[in-house]
Amino acid sequence: MIDTAAPHFNDAGEFQGYIGSCIDITPRKHKESQLQLAETSIELLDDGVIITDPEHCIVWVNPAFTKITGYPLEDVKGKKPSVLSSGKHDEAFYLHMFDKLRVDGRWQGEIWNRRKNGEVYPEWLSINSVKDDHGVVVNYVGIFSDITRQKAKEENSRYLSTHDPLTGLANRYLMEQVLEFAILSAKRSKKGLAVLFIDLDGFKLVNDTFGHLVGDDLLKDVAQSITGSIRESDLAARPGGDEFVVVLENLCSIRDAEDVARKISKPIRLEFDPTVCVTFSIGISYYDGVEETNAKTLIHLADKAMYQAKESGKNAIKLASEAV
Looking at the fold, whether 179 and 106 belong to one and the same domain comes out as: no
The pLDDT value recorded for residue 322 is: 45
181 and 105 within one domain: no
Q: Which of 164, 199, 234, 242 is catalytic?
A: 242
pLDDT of residue 199: 95
pLDDT at res. 241: 92
The answer to whether the beta carbons of residues 86 and 113 sit under 8 Å apart is: yes
CA proximity to 242, closest of 216, 268, 265: 216
The predicted structure's pLDDT at residue 164: 95
Residues 231 and 183 both lie in one domain: yes
When divided into structural domains, the chain yields a total of: 3
Q: Determine the pLDDT at residue 182.
A: 95
Compute, in degrees rounded to 10, the torsion defined by CA atoms 104, 108, 109, 111: 110
Confirm whether 267 is domain-assigned: yes
C-alpha triplet 193, 195, 201: angle, nearest 5°: 150
Residue 158 covered by a domain:
no
Q: Are residues 144 and 181 in the same domain?
A: no
Distance CA 137, CA 132 (A): 7
Do 101 and 238 lie in one domain? The reply is: no
Domain containing residue 273? 164-319
Residues paired with 48 in a beta bridge: 144
- What are the residue ranges in the chain where pLDDT is below 70? 1-5, 8-9, 17-18, 20-45, 321-324
User: Amino acid identity of 71?
Assistant: Y
The CATH number that applies at residue 80 is: 3.30.450.20
Verify whether residue 46 is a known catalytic residue.
no
CATH number of the domain residue 262 falls in: 3.30.70.270
* pLDDT given at position 43: 64
- Do residue 170 and residue 268 come from a single domain? yes
CA–CA separation, 168 and 237 (whole Å): 9
Q: Give domain status of residue 40, yes or no.
A: no
Do 73 and 112 lie in one domain? The reply is yes
Question: C-alpha angle 299/185/179, rounded to 5°?
Answer: 25
Question: How far are the Cα atoms of 9, 30, 95, 249, 280 from residue 261, in angstroms, in the given order?
Answer: 116, 81, 55, 14, 9
For residue 25, the model assigns a pLDDT of 55
CA distance 192 to 294: 14
Residue 53 sits in the same domain as residue 16? no
Q: 229 with 309, same domain?
A: yes
